Amino acid sequence: MTTTDAAPPQWPVPTTPPVHDPVLFARAMRDMRLTWRARGVLAELATGYAPGQEPRISELAALTRDERLAAEGRDAFRKAVGELRTLGYLTPDATTATGVGERLVVDLAPAADAHLIPQRYGYGPLTDGS
């Protein structure tokens, strides 16, 4: 449903695909060291915002319950960001003095060491074993 009086989104929808390596992104999304929540935050931050238009972590954490549509709370969000920082998926922007509450840069390099669920029973990734 679209209306002409609807407010534009706070962060623009990307107009170009992300420049991340799709294999590393897929490995990151399957990294069992991360909770589902942390993977969702990583996917949001890796979607390809234009430089300077990425949301700040403090802006995302400050969204009201109404704006989040009663989704995850602030503490859950902060915990997910902490997971991503601990594993190296998010690092402070070099232009940020402290890194606290500011933009964090997505780095998918830790996905090279992702803990993935192994294949079972010799089935390939595109077969269901039947």
Instruction: Using CB atoms within 10 Å of the CB of residue 42, give its burial: 0 to 12 exposed, 13 to 18 middle, 19+ buried.
Output: buried
Q: How far is CA 35 from CA 94, 103, 113, in A?
A: 27, 21, 16
pLDDT score at 89:
94
Q: How far apart are CA 31 and CA 114, in angstroms?
A: 5
pLDDT digits (tens, 9 = 90+) for 45-75: 888 777 667 778 888 888 777 777 766 778 8
- Is residue 84's pLDDT more than 90? yes
pLDDT digits (tens, 9 = 90+) for 13-38: 777 777 788 899 999 999 999 999 99
Is residue 90 scored above 70 in pLDDT? yes
